[in-house]
Amino acid sequence: MPESLSGISAVTPDWSREKLNGWWVPSKQLLKSIRSYQKWKKVGGLIGRIASAFNVIEYRFWSVVCASDIPLNCQIEGGLLLTHPNGVVIHPSAQIGPNCLILQQVTITEGVKIEGHVDIGAGAKIIRPVTIGEHAKIGANAVVLQDVPPGKTAVGIPAKII
């Protein structure tokens, strides 16, 4: 199931979703600083160290502005939308697929694998090592303790598949 009814791919990142459309777009600036840091760390050498050090400063600024905890070494594929990034906490070992949407106050813990084009509602908590399938939706304030199959919706505390 590579594409949903909305036409958004769960496999190919849509980088235009992360494109800056102004300087004061904190969520996109935060993602830009994380991606730049990861790019320069791979380059290495003196220039890579200097550029990545600059990106750390930039990252810390935007992390404070966004009031979020998304680590520099996170595993996030392209096209992520953080509409309101305040309070978002992502563990460094969590994997987030392409073209996902994460709203405010979301917590994603260690060992979580989120596949492509998953929408996660405000206040949702994914607190066990689970897999969220492509095009799935997690409802607001849901507490996910089990895998969510592709295309399904999970809501409630604890989350149930509907």
Give residue-wise pLDDT tens across range 8-54.
Answer: 889 999 999 999 998 899 999 999 999 999 999 999 999 999 999 99
Cα gap 105→98, rounded to integer Å: 20
Task: Please write the tens of the pLDDT for every residue from 49-95.
Answer: 999 999 999 999 999 999 999 999 999 999 999 999 999 999 999 99
- Mean pLDDT of the 119-132 span: 97
- Domain co-membership, 84 together with 122: yes
Residue 128 lies in a domain: yes
Q: Is residue 123 part of a domain?
A: yes
Inter-CA distances, 147 with 103, 112, 161, 162, Å? 20, 10, 9, 13
Q: Three-state SS across 46-68?
A: HHHHHHHHHHHHHHHHHHHHHCC
125 and 61, same structural domain?
Answer: no
- Structural domain total, the chain: 2
Residues 101 and 135 in one domain: yes
Confidence band of 7 (pLDDT split at 50, 70, 90): confident
Nearest-angstrom CA–CA distance, 71 and 152? 28
Residue 86 resides in a domain: yes
Residue 110 has pLDDT above 90, yes or no: yes
Instruction: Give the confidence band of 143 by pLDDT, cuts at 50, 70, 90.
Output: very high
pTM of the predicted protein model: 0.91
Same domain, 29 and 106: no
Q: Is residue 2 part of a domain?
A: no
Q: Which domain holds residue 142?
A: 70-162
- pLDDT of 1 higher than 90: no
Q: How many CB atoms lie within 10 A of CB 16?
A: 9
Looking at the structure, tell me whether residues 56 and 124 fall in a common domain: no
Q: Please say which residue of 29, 49, 66 terminates a domain.
A: 66
Compute the distance between CA of residue 17 and CA of residue 99 in angstroms, rounded to an integer: 8
